[in-house]
Amino acid sequence: MLISTSRRTPDSVADRIAEMAHDESVVEKFIDFRAAGPGTLPQIFAKSDAIVCTEDSSSMISEAVSARLPVIGVSPRAARFTEDEQLYRDFLMGKGWSRTIPIADLTPEHFAEVLSTIEPLQENPLDALAQKLKARLPELF
């Protein structure tokens, strides 16, 4: 299992994960954002079959969906988004690209069940955008 912290991860949580990472049977690779800094997503995505992140991590969810990986956002019992953020989450889930699991319900069995319902993007979003631009603005190509 690869675990990475982010700029928002509290030091106490990062310290606890760092302790667990000493046991490679628990954590195969740990990327501590405090030491690594930005720019670690390509390394994370290259080694990942799926992404699990906090549900409020819009950037991570968006990047992982765009990288064509299944994404599960874990949420606390009382989570609330702005209307736009909720519409965005609903869009991603409606397309089948991501799912959300309350942290309290996160078991290996439930995780596997939810993961099996995700259908990652099949095409590169940049290629799809280029095709749409070419169709609408052929003079640019």
Torsion of the alpha carbons at 12, 14, 19 and 25, rounded to the nearest 10: 140
Q: Is the pLDDT of residue 22 over 80?
A: yes
pLDDT tens-digit series, residues 31-60: 999 998 888 888 889 989 999 999 988 889
- Average pLDDT, whole number, for the chain? 92
Please state, as a whole number, how many other Cβ atoms lie within 10 Å of the Cβ of residue 18. 16
Torsion of the alpha carbons at 87, 92, 93 and 99, rounded to the nearest 10: -110
CATH value of 2-140 in 3.40.50, 3.55.40, 2.30.30, 3.10.450: 3.40.50
Q: What is the mean pLDDT of residues 56-71?
A: 93
pLDDT tens-digit series, residues 83-107: 999 999 999 999 999 999 999 999 9
Q: Is the pLDDT of residue 120 over 80?
A: yes
Per-domain residue ranges for the chain? Answer: 2-140
Q: Is the pLDDT of residue 3 over 80?
A: yes
Please state, as a whole number, how many other Cβ atoms lie within 10 Å of the Cβ of residue 40. 15
Residue 26: pLDDT band (50, 70, 90) is: confident
Residue 76: pLDDT band (50, 70, 90) is: confident
> Structure pTM?
0.81
pLDDT at 104: 93
Residues 112, 125: Cα–Cα separation, whole Å: 26
CB distance 75 to 100 below 8 Å: yes
